[in-house]
Chains A and B, each alone.
Chain A
């Protein structure tokens, strides 16, 4: 029981980060995480001890987020980027993607691509775990990731070719 709470606690920073990236709003994100934790803790009896706690928590968080979108018709892309807490970001360097541009590009992704991309690129989850959380086959996950990556590339106006020269 205590080890369960410890496992949950270890996931809180990642859940907050993921929720913040999804909602782009500090309060909304933390509300989402709080709902998720309350639900998880009140239903821990239904939790299968064999499954990883992390995947279960992300599943609950995503369900809550999707429900909130469905009921409130909340549009994350309308949240002003200036309204989120200023991350301590270095000024864009040559060869780096402009961060604000990238943030806006992520916001405009379809939800199914955004949630997949953030699970893998931000949270670093294995494909299998991300696919399980999203309840899709791994092939579907990879095609969503591919489309998300391509959309980001287009939206950030960074064609592959010029960088090809500058990287190596």
Chain B
């Protein structure tokens, strides 16, 4: 006869046995009252557990435990968090944008200061050059003025400074700040003593208001003005009188016909 273990009795009581084993156990129980009592006790334990807790199953399920409701809430929470994420992205973008375009306002440096600094830098770099002082030489003046006028999107002539002893060497195009006039044209002039001055021109600033400024930039002097059409910075390291005369000549010729040019430079 197969030995019936306590585990088998328990498995029988728990309804875990396959049909053939169940028959074996039942045959054993029929002739073994002790085993039968053991099984009966286990079954009474299970019955008691069911009696204790089965009523829970009959209780109505609270709404908060309905899977469909939970799924709907989860997806609306997901949507909500997407919305928050999107809002955050927009706000960060706005902040970056405001910060970026508000730079000139916040940095405290007016565009004129940027322009003068750029003009002086460009002056310092290119007046030291001999063979590559300019991109387009004065011999090609028509092309030079047409090209630079196009690139600056504002008509640009080359002032005649022969009265002050200076002749045009040529010019070049330079990068600039988009919020401070954009690209710049640099015109270079030279006198017989090989003194060089540069004229740094950009399109008008966004505010288009006239402005004048004279700056001493470490060895070089800069005369800056702005009107509704252009900004212009004359840079050189000439004696004061000469610098004044050259600046006035440039100013006069560059603002010719500009009704909005405002008052002339008086030194």
A residues engaging B (CB < 8 A)? 5, 8-9, 12-14, 16-17, 20-21, 30, 33-34, 37-38, 41-42, 85, 87-90, 95-97, 99, 102-103, 106, 117-118, 120-122, 124, 126-127, 142, 145-146, 149, 152-153, 158, 160-161, 163-164, 167-168
Verify A14–B7 contact, CB threshold 8 A: no
**Chain B nearest Cβ from A1, distance in angstroms:** 9
Residue of B nearest to A159 (CB): B41
- The yes or no answer to B55 lying at the interface (CB within 8 A) is yes
Give the shortest distance, in Å, between A138 (CB) and chain B (any CB): 10
Q: Are A122 and B50 in contact (CB under 8 A)?
A: yes
Q: Which of B1-58 contact A (CB under 8 A)?
A: 6-7, 10-11, 14-16, 33-34, 36-38, 40-42, 44-57
Q: How would you classify the secondary structure of chain A's contact residues: helix, strand, loop or mixed?
A: helix
Distance of A16 Cα from B54 Cα, bound (Å):
10
Contact pick for A9, options B11, B16, B42, B68, CB 8 Å: B68
* Bound-complex Cα distance A96 to B40 (A): 11
Contact: B49 with A17, CB < 8 Å?
no
B71 touches A5 (CB 8 A): yes
CB contact between B55 and one of A33, A88, A163 (< 8 Å): that residue: A88
Do A99 and B65 touch (CB < 8 A)?
Answer: no
Chain B residues within 8 Å of A163, by CB = 37, 40-41, 44
Contact B56 A20 (CB under 8 A): yes
**B67 engages A8 (CB within 8 Å):** yes
**Which chain B residues lie closer than 8 Å to A167 at the CB level?**
36-37, 40
Of B7, B44, B45, chain A has the most CB atoms within 10 Å of the CB of B45
Query: Does B34 contact A41, Cβ atoms closer than 8 Å?
Result: no
Count of chain A to chain B residue pairs whose CB atoms are closer than 8 Å in the complex: 130
Knowing A13-B57, A124-B15, A168-B33 touch, does A106 contact B65 (C-beta < 8 A)?
no
Question: Which of A9, A30, A145, A153 makes the CB contact (< 8 A) with B62?
Answer: A30
A-B contact pairs, 7 of them (CB 8 A): A12-B65, A17-B54, A34-B70, A87-B51, A89-B52, A153-B41, A160-B38
Q: Are A127 and B41 in contact (CB under 8 A)?
A: no
B53 lies within 8 A of A17 (CB)? yes
User: Is B61 among interface residues, defined by CB-CB distance under 8 A?
Assistant: yes
| Cβ–Cβ contact A87 & B55, under 8 A | yes
Partner of B41, one of A17, A30, A33, A158: A158
Candidates A33, A97, A102, A126; contact of B65 at CB < 8 Å: A33
CB of B36 within 8 A of CB of A12, answer: no
10 additional contacts, CB 8 Å, given A37-B70, A97-B45, A122-B49? Answer: A17-B54, A34-B64, A38-B70, A153-B41, A153-B45, A160-B37, A161-B37, A163-B37, A163-B40, A163-B41
Question: Looking across the interface, which residue of chain A has its beta carbon closest to that of B60?
Answer: A13
The interface centre, meaning the residue of B6, B15, B51, B54 with most chain A CB atoms within 10 A of its CB, is B51
B67 engages A17 (CB within 8 Å): no
**Are A99 and B51 in contact, with the CB atoms below 8 A?**
yes
Q: Is the CB of B48 within 8 A of A97?
A: yes
Give the nearest-CB partner of B39 in chain A.
A167
A158–B34 Cα distance when bound, in Å, is: 15
Contact A16 B57 (CB under 8 A): yes
Q: From A17, which residue of chain B is reached at the shortest CB distance?
A: B56
Please report the C-alpha to C-alpha distance between residue A78 and residue B14 in the assembled complex, in whole angstroms: 29
Q: What are the 6 closest A-B residue pairs judged by CB atoms, nearest first?
A: A164-B37, A87-B55, A17-B56, A8-B67, A13-B57, A102-B48
A-chain residues with CB within 8 Å of residue B16 when the two chains form the complex? 120, 126-127
| Complex contact A30–B64 (CB within 8 A) | yes
Known contacts: A87-B51, A99-B51. The answer to whether A12 contacts B67 by CB under 8 A is: yes
What CA separation (Å) do A121 and B65 show in the bound complex? 24
Question: Does B52 contact A21, Cβ atoms closer than 8 Å?
Answer: yes
B29 to chain A, nearest CB (A): 10
Q: Which residue of A lies closest to B61 (CB)?
A: A12
Given A21, A85, A164, which contacts B34 in the complex, CB threshold below 8 Å?
Answer: A164
